[in-house]
Structure 1
C-alpha cells in the first residue's frame, strides 16, 4: 500500500500523541515532538507502508531518541575533557595559583555577550571586528563587552577568599 496524505494523516492522528509520550523517556517535550515529526517524514519517504506502521514508527522514534541521548552524553563528556584540559593549560601558563576550574566557573558567571566576547578573543583569537560580526553588533560594542567581561573577571578574582580557618578564643 502506498502512503498518501490521507493515510499519513490518519496514522498521525492515531499515533502521534503516544509517540511523543514514548520519546519523552529520553528527550524533553520539544525534542520529543521533533523526533515524532521526523519519524512521520521518514514514513512519508518510504515507498510503501510497513506491515506494522505503529511498530515501525515506535522503532524509528526510539532509535532517534536513544541516538540523540547518547550523542548528548558523548558531547558533554568531550566538552568537559576539552574545557578542563584547555583551561588547565591556559591558566597554568598565566598564573599557577589560579585554579582552572574556578576560573572557568567565574567565566560562566558572566553574561552571555561578555563571555562570548572574552572566549572568542582570548581562546578563539578573533579580532574585535570578527567578534562584532559574530555577535551582530558594532566593533565598539564588541570591545566594550570584552573589556567589561575582563573587568568583572578581575574584580571577582581579586575579592578576598573566605577564611577557612577560625580563630580559637581562649
Structure 2
C-alpha cells in the first residue's frame, strides 16, 4: 500500500494525530472536508466571504490540532464548529446575504446549476421567503438549523460543533422550525431534513 493511499484511508482523528509530527498529513483533512465546508459557508455568507472563512477554519484547526480529541474519529463537527464560530463574526454579512437572497431569490450554491426557467421561478419565490425568515431567526437557532439542514450534520454532531448539549440543539431546531412554519404560512421548508429520534 502506498503512503498516499494509506493516508487517504485513515480516519480524521488518525490524520490529525499524525499531523502533530508530520504537518503535511493535515492536507488530506483539507481535501476531504473543504469542498462541503465551502458549500455550507457559501450558503451562510455568500461566495465572497466563503473562501476566507474556509481558509481561516483550516488555519485555526491546524493551529489547534494538538488539542483535538482523537477519540472522535470524524473531524466534521470540530471543523463545522470552528467555521460556525467564524461565521458568527460575520453575522452582518450573513444577514445581508440572506436579505439579498430574499430580494433576488438567487442561491449562490445552486444558481450555477439551475437550468429550467419554470422551476427557477417558483424556487426563487420560495427562497426569498425562506431567506427572510432565516434572517429573522436568533443566531443560535439559525446556526443549529443550518448545520443540520445545509451542513449535513446530525444533531449529536451539531451539539459537538456548537459546544452545547444535544437537548439544546433539539430545542433550538424545534423553535426555529416552528417560527419558519409560522412565517411561511404553515410550510416547513426543512421537511426534507429527517427528524432524529429522541434517543439519537
- Length-normalised TM-score, structure 1: 0.40
Q: Which has the higher contact order (CA 8 A, sep 6+)?
A: 2
Computing the radius of gyration from Cα coordinates, the structure with the larger value is: 1
- Length-normalised TM-score, structure 2: 0.34
